[in-house]
Structure 1
Amino acid sequence: MDQLDQRLLNEFQQDFPLATRPYAVLGERLGLGEDEVMDRLARLSRGGSISRVGAVFKPHAVGGSTLAAMAVPEDRLDEVADLVSSFSEVNHNYQREHRLNLWFVVTATSQQRVAEVLAEISARAGLQVLDLPLLEHFHIDLGFDLKWT
């Protein structure tokens, strides 16, 4: 990962350009062409540095969403995390040091689809999925200053 990759990941977590050709706008800001920006993002995605590029909407403003958690045996954690990540409706998943050790966010076109995804994950993993729907809204800035070593 070079310095331009690092800038691309760090500087555009927020205020992503709302334009017909946003990657051209990013490229202009970085001194790159639109195609090179898209190539870099594709390479970073293939390499596992990023999982997606997309908007984050206020919960329940469009479609449905929920936070979910599972208690996954340690020897199955990678397998189940890969299963969870295979659903396009899953924004991200992460491990926690807790009995409920795999957490993830599901966002879909409707609450019904959210429920279907949770049920399918549960059935395919053979494990219970705990649905933790939003009860109170809080704004959390999801942009983080990335530190490079």
Structure 2
Amino acid sequence: MRLDAADRQLIDSYQRNLPVCERPYEEMARTLGLTEEEVIQRLSALQEQQVLSRVGPVFEHSQAGASLLAAVAAPEEQMDLVAARINRAPGVNHNYAREHTYNLWFVMTAPDEDTLEERLDELEHQLKLPMLRLPMVEGYHIDLGFDIDWEALP
């Protein structure tokens, strides 16, 4: 797959500093000399081609409410069912399977600690499974942007 100059510029320009405004794609388009529709179409195509896996901001979660890493020990034969139920709970993201007694791990967010605890309690009650709750003790910032040497790519 060949990416044209506009695709490369879009990727390079917005791995970081995605505009946080009412019309982010319009703002990106203005900067890149494209239309808003072109930006949306290009991002969609890049996702369909699996060049990009996600388009969206990464927030400093401690500034945006409360969150917690949690895990449940789901019976193997119920993994898909339990995962689907977890995914329907408000504020859940990053739900993934692990090879461990606690085999489904997810992050839950909420506007505040009380709401977070209520959501976790409700989900644990619905699942009827033990839940491991792992509050963050220390935060680490992982920069997910990459400097791409376009000339070195085939």
Alpha-carbon distance between aligned partners in 1 of 2:71 and 2:29, rounded to the nearest angstrom = 38
Which residue matches 2:69? 67
Alpha-carbon distance between aligned partners in 2 of 1:57 and 1:77, rounded to the nearest angstrom = 30
| 1:57 equivalent in alignment to 2:60 | yes
Which residue matches 2:79? 77
Contact 2:18 2:56 in 1 (8 A): no
Which residue matches 1:119? 121
Q: Secondary structure at the match of 1:98?
A: coil
Which residue matches 1:132? 134
Alpha-carbon distance between aligned partners in 2 of 1:50 and 1:121, rounded to the nearest angstrom = 28
Cα shift at 1:98? 1.2
Q: Deviations over 1:59-103 (max 9, x none)?
A: 2x2311111111111111111111111134112211111111111
Alpha-carbon distance between aligned partners in 2 of 1:51 and 1:78, rounded to the nearest angstrom = 23
Contact 1:66 1:134 in 2 (8 A): yes
Which residue matches 2:102? 100
Contact 1:85 1:92 in 2 (8 A): no
When residues 10 and 112 of structure 1 are mapped into structure 2, their CA distance, relative to the original with a 3 A threshold, is farther
Which residue matches 1:89? 91
Cα shift at 1:23? 1.3
Alpha-carbon distance between aligned partners in 2 of 1:88 and 1:54, rounded to the nearest angstrom = 19
Tell which deviates more after alignment, 29-38 or 114-123. Answer: 29-38
Q: Spell out the pairing of 1:5-16 with structure 2 (5 A cutoff).
A: 12-16=14-18
Cα shift at 1:135? 1.1
Which one has a bigger Cα radius of gyration? 2
Cα shift at 1:115? 0.8
Which residue matches 1:21? 23
Q: Secondary structure at the match of 1:115?
A: helix
Contact 1:17 1:25 in 2 (8 A): yes
Cα shift at 1:51? 7.6
Q: Structure 1: which 5+ runs fail to align? A: none
Q: Structure 2: which 5+ runs fail to align? A: 148-154
Q: Percent identity?
A: 41
Q: Secondary structure at the match of 1:119?
A: helix
